[in-house]
């Protein structure tokens, strides 16, 4: 069945992979990102805006939505003593408050049976050095997911995915040499890092009727990183 899905922060590598999957699946997609984006056919509608700061243009969104995905995120990795409080606040703004604002803006449009997907990170489940700020923000996202899942059931399902290192511009500095890439693959039980398509596939599933009995969950798409020790 054709769905109407909104993606906030669709300029991300994972957002682009999800957009393609949804359009290939015959769905209608409404995207926002800070930069310009060429609309990919008649079922793709784009508004260039920062979801944290601006409202949607008048008449941009349809009357009802079957789903919403909040993609924006940050990665400020530093020793705790070097992480200024402002960084914690900025990360909280983008990762948590952006999701809060985006969901509040579209909440009335969410149909019965619709699905909201947010992003956490493997670094919430597994403590990792230098991740204090991002883990604190994404931990808050996980709390938001469970609370909203409870509050909006049975009408709306709310879940998050928690990736480990995935090949996108956000993680570029961690894999920009052969040696770094090899070391990062080696850390994962499945000996690979993630691809944007791995995340897009899980989000596509969570938006679909196949996930009709799943809510309040954090899906760990992480090459085994959060639960397996080799």
Binding interface with ligand NAP (CB under 6 A): 9-15, 33-35, 50, 52, 71-74, 94, 119, 121, 163, 165-166, 168-171
- 145, 168, 165: which is closest to 156 by C-alpha? 145
DSSP assignment of 201-217 equals HHHHHHHSGGGTT--S-
Tokens encoding 31: 């995207």
DSSP3 helix / strand / coil % (the chain, rounded to 5): 40, 20, 40
Q: Is residue 166 within 8 Å of 198, Cβ to Cβ?
A: yes
Q: In whole angstroms, how close is the CB of 4 to ligand NAP at the nearest point? A: 19
Give the nearer residue to ligand NAP in terms of CB position, either 97 or 111: 97
Q: In whole angstroms, how close is the CB of 112 to ligand NAP at the nearest point? A: 27
Give the nearer residue to ligand NAP in terms of CB position, either 21 or 111: 21
Q: In whole angstroms, how close is the CB of 153 to ligand NAP at the nearest point? A: 24
Q: In whole angstroms, how close is the CB of 193 to ligand NAP at the nearest point? A: 8
d(CA 199, CA 119): 10
Q: In whole angstroms, how close is the CB of 126 to ligand NAP at the nearest point? A: 12
Q: Is residue 102 within 8 Å of 49, Cβ to Cβ?
A: no
Which residue has its beta carbon closest to ligand NAP? 73
Residue 15 is inside which H or E element, if any?
A: helix 13-24
Give the nearer residue to ligand NAP in terms of CB position, either 26 or 78: 78
Q: Which single residue is written with the structure tokens 């920062």?
A: 50
Strand segments, DSSP code E, in 71-209 are: 110-119, 156-163
Q: In whole angstroms, how close is the CB of 131 to ligand NAP at the nearest point? A: 10
d(CA 102, CA 8): 8
């Amino acid at each position: 069945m054709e769905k109407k899905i909104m993606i906030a922060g669709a300029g991300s590598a994972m957002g682009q992979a999800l957009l393609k999957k949804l359009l290939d699946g015959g769905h209608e997609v409404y995207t926002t990102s800070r930069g310009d984006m060429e609309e990919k056919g008649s079922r793709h509608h784009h508004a260039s805006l920062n979801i944290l700061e601006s409202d949607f243009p008048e008449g941009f969104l349809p009357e009802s939505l079957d789903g919403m995905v909040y993609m924006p995120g940050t990665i400020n990795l530093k020793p705790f003593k070097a992480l200024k409080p402002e960084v914690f606040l900025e990360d909280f703004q983008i990762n948590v408050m952006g999701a809060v604002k985006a969901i509040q803006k579209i909440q009335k449009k969410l149909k019965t049976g619709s699905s909201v997907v947010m992003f956490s990170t493997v670094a919430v489940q597994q403590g990792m050095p230098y991740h204090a700020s991002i883990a604190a923000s994404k931990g808050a996202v996980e709390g938001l997911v469970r609370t909203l899942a409870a509050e909006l059931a049975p009408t709306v399902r709310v879940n998050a995915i928690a990736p480990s290192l995935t090949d996108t511009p956000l993680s570029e500095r961690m894999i920009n040499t052969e040696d770094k890439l090899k070391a990062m693959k080696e850390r994962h039980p499945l000996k690979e890092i993630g691809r944007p398509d791995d995340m897009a596939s899980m989000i596509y599933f969570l938006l679909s009727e196949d996930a009709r009995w799943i809510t309040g969950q954090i899906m760990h798409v992480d090459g085994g990183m959060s639960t397996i020790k080799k």
